[in-house]
Amino acid sequence: MRQFLKFVLATMVGLLLFMVVGFVILLGIGAAASSSDTVSIAEGSVLELKLGPPVVERSPRSPFAELGLEEVFGEQGIGLDEIKASIKKAKADDNIKGIFLNLDLLQAGMASIEEIRNSLLDFKKSKKFVVAYSEFSTEKAYYLASVADRFYLNPQGTLELNGLSSEVMFFKGTLEKLDLQPYIFKVGEYKSAVEPFILDKMSEPSREQTQSFLNSLNNFMLKNIAAARNKSFADIKNISDSMLVHNADDALRLGMVTHLGYYDEATDFMKSKVGVKKDQELKLVNLGTYKKAADPEKKEGSSSNKIAVIYASGDIMGGEGDDASIGSEGMSKAIRKARLDKNVKAVVLRINSPGGSSLASDVIWREVMLTKKVKPVIASMSDVAASGGYYIAMACDTIVAHPTTITGSIGVFGMMVNSEHFLKNKLGITTDRVKTGKFSDVPTVTRAMTPYEKMHIQREVERIYDDFTTKAAQSRNMPVAELRKVASGRVWSGIEAKQRGLVDVLGGMETAIAIAAQKAKLKEGDYRLRQLPAQKSFMDNLFSDTQSQIKAYSLQNELGDMLPYYQQYKRVLQMQGIQARLPYEIEIQ
């Protein structure tokens, strides 16, 4: 009977899943047919920027988002490209009278925030208003909202302005408890990616570099806040360093916000600005709707000239890659496609990566070098372009980075682990082997490494480091000895990197595109942008990504705040070969 009930239950579940999937597909066909419809924006509307989901480089083409089901299955992210395009479009749209920043948490890197902030500053040139409201304003959210004409902080809310910090988790004690013995191979005293596995705290070089780039980022941010709030840098730095803002009253008294007020008071003010009565509803337009609105300034033009913008986001590894990783094969195809397209006159390589496989990085580097011979290639560094991320950037004609970009980390490392004692002492498992030669079982994780084997791997790491620094020196027109003074795996802010010759220009994506156009001798309006790699179509996403989207949603709900640690564990499992990777997972708070 119990077995019969199991079969009945399994059949019912199967039928239910079939019905759900079928319903989603039918919705998808309808949505795909109507997704190109232009949305009309009512006069007197306000564009609402509610940046809760993570900000990523490109808007993910999630089938659930296109079906309007992102709230059910969870949004996978908001594209920086979409945010900036919407702000630019709103500037010229007579029906949009202002922007409403509805902010609390803001999941974005420092450079991404800087690009959005600069877009808002440009929007304000139209003389339209920017109003911000927050109940709990994090450091990053406040930095973005500081450009607002009016900033309403909830009277019972809080505002964080006490400086930046970066915390690292160490696993040495865990490995010891598990009887796991790590073997570390690296070049460069600052290459601290391996430190969490062999130390219980930061080394002095690691602490030094982290303190340096955090100070650089923090001072840059405070200077911009001071300019936005009409205060001196010294005053803002004192407020931050002394943590003088403890509550909403402090924030108002010190001039960090313009008003204490509730959500309805912020919307009432905007109603007065657009001529709507208090008892009427304010016409707020979200990003998802506004991206379907017509762009009053968009002109397709007849020019066949193009500038290819190639997005390289995530860890670098072999294979095709996806929206969250840079596959050497997939990225090489995209660069090759731009090189062979006669209508593409220049390339902008947009990089947001902490690095990864040194081999995969070198494969991509080669394609950049080949492309540079026939057309300009400009690197645009986003939040992070370090280690392998710098490797693929250094071949470009010009490197553009934000002042707040994390870059450099020119160094390599390798790591293996001996799990013999873990298997035997913790699990009762032993291993034995038969070999045709002395080194037939190399590499293995089930026995200790011999001195010769360790020497062999260390030599390989040193060879790759020599190759990395030699290529970097040639690209930067520096003697190798000078380049190595700023290498050794050390991480820099964009400002620090420019001072040391690792970066050419400070700026964002628009700066890189302008340089690309100039080098290709293209005038404004005489070219179009082409984004690569091409994103999957709606139906491709629906059939190929539905399972992964549901899995991601389930993991988010199941793991909650522990999800980043699980994702980091998965990335470690994907590491193969010698790595050119950022010292550790940098989370700036």
- Cite the active site residues: 387
Given a contact cutoff of 8 angstroms between Cβ atoms, the answer to whether 351 and 401 are in contact is no
The alpha helices in 275-322, defined as continuous H runs, are 287-290
Given a contact cutoff of 8 angstroms between Cβ atoms, the answer to whether 369 and 398 are in contact is no
107: tokens are: 């999941």
Query: Which residue, among 74, 38, 28, has the nearest Cα to 54 in the 3D structure?
Result: 74
For 388, other C-beta atoms within 10 Å of its C-beta total: 33
Q: Is 150 exposed, middle or buried (0-12, 13-18, 19+ CB in 10 A)?
A: middle
CA 439 – CA 127 distance, rounded (Å)? 72
CA 130 – CA 120 distance, rounded (Å)? 8
For 409, other C-beta atoms within 10 Å of its C-beta total: 32
Residue whose token pair is 């909650």: 560
Given a contact cutoff of 8 angstroms between Cβ atoms, the answer to whether 416 and 458 are in contact is no
Sequence-ordered list of residues with C-beta below 8 angstroms from that of 429, at least 6 positions apart, any chain: 423
Q: At what angle do helices 110-123 and 80-92 cross, to 10 degrees?
A: 10
Query: Which residue, among 486, 495, 410, has the nearest Cα to 217 in the 3D structure?
Result: 495
CA 484 – CA 96 distance, rounded (Å)? 52
Given a contact cutoff of 8 angstroms between Cβ atoms, the answer to whether 139 and 217 are in contact is no
Quick one: which H or E segment has residue 150? strand 150-159
414 in helix, strand or coil?
strand
Sequence-ordered list of residues with C-beta below 8 angstroms from that of 452, at least 6 positions apart, any chain: none
Q: Is 410 exposed, middle or buried (0-12, 13-18, 19+ CB in 10 A)?
A: buried
Given a contact cutoff of 8 angstroms between Cβ atoms, the answer to whether 576 and 415 are in contact is no
CA 66 – CA 233 distance, rounded (Å)? 45
Given a contact cutoff of 8 angstroms between Cβ atoms, the answer to whether 350 and 378 are in contact is no
CA 147 – CA 113 distance, rounded (Å)? 12
Q: Is 17 exposed, middle or buried (0-12, 13-18, 19+ CB in 10 A)?
A: exposed
